[in-house]
Amino acid sequence: MMYTKSVMNASDLEKKAALVRKWCLISTTEAASGHATSALSAADIGAVLFDKYFTFDLKNKQNLYNDRLIFSKGHASPLLYSLYAAAGAYPFEELKTLRQFGSMFEGHPVPAFPYTEAATGSLGQGLSIGAGMALGLQKIEEIKPKPKVFVLLGDGEMAEGSIWEAADFATYYKLNNLIAIVDVNRFGQSQETMFGHNLFSYRDRLSAFGWETMLIDGHNYGEIDNALKAGVGNRTQKPFAIIAKTLKGKGIPQWENKNGFHSKPVSKDDLPKILEDLGNPKDEVIFSLPKPKKIFQLIQSAQSIDVSLSHNEDEKLMTKEVYGKALVEVAKKIDTVISLDGDVKNSTSSQDFEAVFPDKAIECFIAEQNMIGVGIGLGKIGFMPFISTFSAFFTRAFDQIRMGRVSEATIKLIGSYAGVSLGKDGSSQMGLEDMAMIGALPDSVILYPADAIATEKLVGVMPSITGISYMRLSRPKVPIIYKDTDMFSLGGSKILRQSEEDLLTIVAAGITVHEALKAYEELKKEKIFVRVVDCYCIKPIDNDTLIECSRTTQQNTIITVEDHFSHGGLGDFVMEAVSGTGACVTKMAVMHISHSGTEEEVLDDAGISAKHIIAKVKQLV
């Protein structure tokens, strides 16, 4: 890339960087903890960025014409906080509350800090989130020119595979509004990083992934200035990476470029001398961030959509094949809906969405960690991401999902091929831990429809949900058991069979609803009457219906049947719902690793088929 050298005042920038360093040190010393050295290494880069290149309206952070800044190396949060203080966002003195309970300045950036784009600190995730934001901004035609997304990366996290998933993705989608800044300060937490100060290793790898790159001295203001100017002025069709050689602990002579000080603050005794060496810079607003000249914001539409597809009454359908068609109907009414898939769209049926809305369908390929991060980034700028793959494959991206919850992100996860009922593909493809995984997250939602109509109705409910929501879908073709007029709600369930003679209640979800109904018909022939409940919303669960069913059946007993491992699934949610009521809950779940086979064979082998339900009822009555 050709670029011209910028005119700048190195002495002035050095003074500004000194003030930023001062508050990185004061805040961590006051907290008696924190990653001062990691903040100090990038302070010069941060100072030049805020002094000349970062466009942001502090009073309207939702404006999509703002540039975006993500600290993927979230442990350098003292630098992030000090930069915004130096831009006048809040008084410097507030930084002394760093890491205190109730302070917005937590140890790593979270949404409590109003200028955090997404929670970071679990390394390797910021570039994916930044890529999602950059792609989203490119897709909004009204925004011209495109704002820049800056992502500060640590050299240690460059060992994370998710970084390279994101790097590949950014090149494929030609995200030339994405600027990665790699702070190569040589040391990780316990030792030297993989490549130390060998900048060429990082350059070669990023170049091989198709990035435009520049190598600089991260403490030379002229080089920093020129690199940021080149990145902001990038006219190629490539993302841009600035690879900066820095010194960990820059500004503390006795710690500078030395191992062993990763998470140590300066002592209160040593701090005065270090601040004196920095010139004891005056506390003043030194950065005047330019505001965007225009304002644009995506309009959020958190509402339920009534989805009604046409089905034959005697038709058998996979719940997973209904999803894409239902999402099309939702997207017709909500402009911000966007679909992400990981190269399984012909299995998840998201290809049906892509056929109607090709510009709103994002292929993320076989890189689930990056796919979740991209979804979080898209959600954070106002899109409504529906993210689909096999339920089993979400497990490899659980840390991204977990951090999405910490980020207060709103994403919709669609897990197809759940449970042993997947059949012949075998155990490696069977999602049997997914409800435990998603259910562990505070305020998450888990939906598990039993037929085509329940699926389409619940897809319509998902836009109204804030936070992490998950829909579990199955492969077997099942009959339609509901009518188009049936209503489905968050926290609801359906009593499918009941009488005054019911001995106990069978609670099922998804595929096991059909096994429970088969068992009901056989038991009825023997004058054994049971209640059957479809618990289509597993979290939040329908406490009232479950408690009422247990109290109004003769044995005050509930049997749960689920195509999921025993721990953390439907049975545990039901037990929690009726705890303290005296109800007895018996769990029927998958207890061992399954095998390839027909759906009937694997359900029977897992002990959750109609035959086993009948046997369990007879045992209990």
Name the DSSP class of 288.
Answer: -
For 290, other C-beta atoms within 10 Å of its C-beta total 12
Strand 411-416 with 384-390, pairing? parallel
Look at residue 436 and give its three-state secondary structure.
Answer: helix
Token code pair at residue 374: 């991209």
CB within 8 A of 482, min separation 6: which ones? 451, 453, 454, 494
CB within 8 A of 270, min separation 6: which ones? none
Name the DSSP class of 517.
Answer: H
CB within 8 A of 400, min separation 6: which ones? 125, 128, 162, 369, 372, 373, 376
Going from the C-alpha of 18 to that of each of 284, 538, 556, the distances in angstroms are: 12, 54, 70
Strand 477-479 with 468-472, pairing? unpaired
Tracing tokens 């470029």 back to the chain, one arrives at 257
Cα separation, 529 vs 524, whole angstroms: 6
Q: Which residues are catalytic?
A: 368
**Which amino acid does the sequence have at 313?**
E
Look at residue 468 and give its three-state secondary structure.
Answer: strand
Task: Return the biggest CA–CA distance within the chain.
Answer: 91
Give me the sign of the Cα torsion angle 246, 105, 55, 180: positive
Going from the C-alpha of 265 to that of each of 24, 32, 84, 106, 174, the distances in angstroms are: 10, 6, 21, 15, 41
Cα separation, 217 vs 243, whole angstroms: 9
Strand 411-416 with 468-472, pairing? parallel
Look at residue 205 and give its three-state secondary structure.
Answer: helix
Note whether 146 and 207 are within 8 A (CB).
Answer: no
Alpha helices in 116-237 (DSSP H): 126-139, 161-172, 199-208, 221-232
Give me the sign of the Cα torsion angle 197, 198, 202, 203: positive
The closest of 498, 492, 331, 488 to 412, measured between CA atoms, is: 331
Give one DSSP letter per residue of 559-570, joined into a string: EEEEEEESTTSH
Question: Cis bond leading into 78, ω under 30°?
Answer: no
